Amino acid sequence: MSDIKKNLVFIPAVIISGNESRSNSYQYGIKSWKFWCEKNNCELFVLDQLLLPNEEMRITWQRYYIFQLLENNGIKFDQILMVDADSIIHPECPNFFEMTERKFTGVHHDGSYDWVLRSMENYSKYLFNGKMFNFWEYYMGGFQIFNETHKIFFNNILKFYENNKNVIKELQNFYVGTDQPVINFLLRENGIDLKLLPWEFSMSDMVRKEVLADDMLFTKVGWVYQFNAIPNNTNNYLTDYWMKKTYEYFHGVI
């Protein structure tokens, strides 16, 4: 077995009972990332089973067990990208692993600032003693690059969840983020140096920016597409429509 450590793309893609429609489109995202990984000599690791019941710990939190998962599966790695399953990557996307300076790397969440600020304000008040940080440095949980030096930080994330899970679950009644606001605060509390890549590497909220349209404009202005915040998305029909359409635009019919 080779001792060469490759960069790795990690995708949590678990089918949650009662929300199966959301996972219909995961196949397109996974296949797009598989193509990119093969082209860029990276490994792909897909988590398709819950580690704990979703009611006890949502999958957005379970993904922070990534270091234990890789160790238990005997998988060596250099850097890791943790990315959402409802994303598609352009086949010609530059190798972002070469842009990190080996820092914790993300993309600013340039979406609904009402949602971002409500998340920051509520978590600040109830969990972080009123501390705040610059909202323009708030990064997305759906695109995070890290390496072995961040293992302790991830252990701290899991400990924080265990110690505060009741408050975290209660805060969901305010319609704020799950893990994303917490990891943003914890990043600062743990003194982790954050590097932010441009929006092109995690294009969220594309409808609001008027680039998600049949002319496929979004494929001309960026590299990684997050199919979230789509209005009137009954049973995730539009997520499936756009992910299928985008995958076939690049790769043809599955």
Mean pLDDT of 6-33: 90
Q: What is the CATH number of the domain that holds 158?
A: 3.90.550.10
Question: Does any domain span residue 29?
Answer: yes
Question: Does any domain span residue 1?
Answer: no
Question: Does any domain span residue 179?
Answer: yes
Q: Is 102 exposed, middle or buried (0-12, 13-18, 19+ CB in 10 A)?
A: middle
Mean pLDDT of 144-157: 98
The answer to whether residues 65 and 51 touch, using CB atoms and an 8 Å cutoff, is yes
User: How many domains does the chain contain in total?
Assistant: 1
pLDDT digits (tens, 9 = 90+) for 76-104: 999 999 999 999 999 999 999 999 999 99
Question: Does any domain span residue 181?
Answer: yes
Question: Does any domain span residue 138?
Answer: yes
Question: Does any domain span residue 95?
Answer: yes
pTM above 0.85, yes or no: yes
Question: Does any domain span residue 142?
Answer: yes
Mean pLDDT of 34-58: 96
Q: Which domain holds residue 246?
A: 8-251
Mean pLDDT of 4-33: 90
The answer to whether residues 200 and 224 touch, using CB atoms and an 8 Å cutoff, is yes
pLDDT digits (tens, 9 = 90+) for 105-140: 999 999 999 999 999 999 999 999 999 999 999 999
Mean pLDDT of 231-240: 93
Question: Does any domain span residue 3?
Answer: no
